[in-house]
Structure 1
Amino acid sequence: MKNDLSLYLEEALRISSEAGAGAMPYFRKPLDVISKEDDSPVTIADRRTEELIRQRLSERFPDCGILGEEFGTVRGDSRMLWIVDPIDGTKSFISGMPLFSVLVALFDQKKGQSVLGVLTFPAVGEQYASTVGQGAWFGEHGLNTAESKPLSKAMVYVNEGDRILAREDDLLSRLNAHCGVMRFSYDAYSYCLLAGGHVDAVVDYGLKPYDYMAAVPLVEEAGGVITDWQGKPLTLESDGRVAAASCPAVHEELLQVLSVDRVAFL
């Protein structure tokens, strides 16, 4: 499998880089924004970027399935399933925030496991990658999560804080009371900071598989833990609530805070 993953990774890195470069001409330019059925925004940049990724993956790996945010699933019964978010952080993209990303994951449906993740941030020139059993990297530099510490001294990033606040503001109060520092953040960059040892935990909400599957091997291969809020492994059917931490001890404390009440999932 090592050789297979190395080949997959090489192509995923190349295709993600090409897709990110293709998205940049649209960045900080006037764009028509369309609201999808779930009220999330989409632009021509999202669609053209996913079209490019799908074309390249299909040419290189015709036996693999593809699940993408904008165009659904093809060859969904294939063992190996590419999971693609062409522009993770469309709201960031359309508002000029440079931390949007191209997310590409490879999911082994027989194992029920994301075995590869590539997270590309074209506006800041950063790319993160991981494969199961082979580590996590920022460029050529290996990644390791931070050393264990009490949650009371931990830096915790909360993604989608506005959505959590709209449903259950008490959760944010609990997190703020139990964490050393709580900061609001968005999108996939938080997981890269976690994998690199800069952040101790990430709480996320309302995600789809294409939002989190690339982050799963990145966090785990760097030494961290990433699950749903109940501590269960993330799957294609997970409810979109994500808890990630630098180590099992911090993760367990985080789950205890999250489990006092369950935020109603939208």
Structure 2
Amino acid sequence: MQLVSVERTEEYATELPTEPQQLNLPAAWPQHGCLEFCDVVLAYREGLPNALDGVSLAVRPGEKIGIVGRTGSGKSTMFLALFRMVELNRGKILLDQLDISSVGVAQLRSGLAIIPQDPFLFSGTVRENLDPCERHEDQQLLDVLDQCHLSAAVSRMGGLDAEVGERGKFFSAGQRQLLCLARALLTQAKVLCIDEATASVDQKTDKLLQQTIREKFQDKTVLTIAHRINTIMDCDRVLVMHAGKVVEFDKPAALCQNDTSIFHRLQALPVT
């Protein structure tokens, strides 16, 4: 039993890979939201097939990209790679022409925003969930709640000091999703990732989400994994994934007019 500590020390000191030296970047990085995947290959562990298999694409600053594809096509894996939840096997991801593998994880993730498919709230108050690091004034928190159409609901519950309950049980699924959107608005991040955020909400909340995103993220780069095709029809371009590869990447109108395109066929089917 005493030798277990020796084994662990050896593993931690000699076998685990270490992160590269972190670059000293300004707090405002990234400033433009230019994103590029360069021949990205990623497998979740050795022996498994590649979840991303040679993905290469470039997203211009402020561009709105819709991402579609069947289950297992690599859509969510792209977000995991961008947030460095899983490290790449090969290739690189550039954010504002800088390889994200050379950036500290804390700074990288603070420069990105995400609205997950399953909205997560911590036990605590509305204020603590919106601003856990206490970086913003109360008026800023109230402003984002108003922008996300939550002012009335939060006011009825008691304001910013109202308890959200365990995993946000005092809010409906749609309201939890809107709170996640408000949290993303506060970050002022240049890149927003939306992972099927409207999959479990009603049409009314879906409309509110899409309206707020269009208005408040006009100058931001937005990547949206679609659950409903109509939510990405006004995107600048649509990315179609299949088996970890990019199979189509063009304007939605151009893909719709092409009878042989995968996106054209997906319009008649639910996206999973």
Query: Which bin holds the TM-score, normalised by the shorter protein?
Result: under 0.3
Specify which structure has the higher proportion of strand.
1
Relative contact order, CA 8 A, sep 6+: which one is greater?
2
Which has the greater radius of gyration? 2
TM-score, normalising length: structure 2 = 0.24
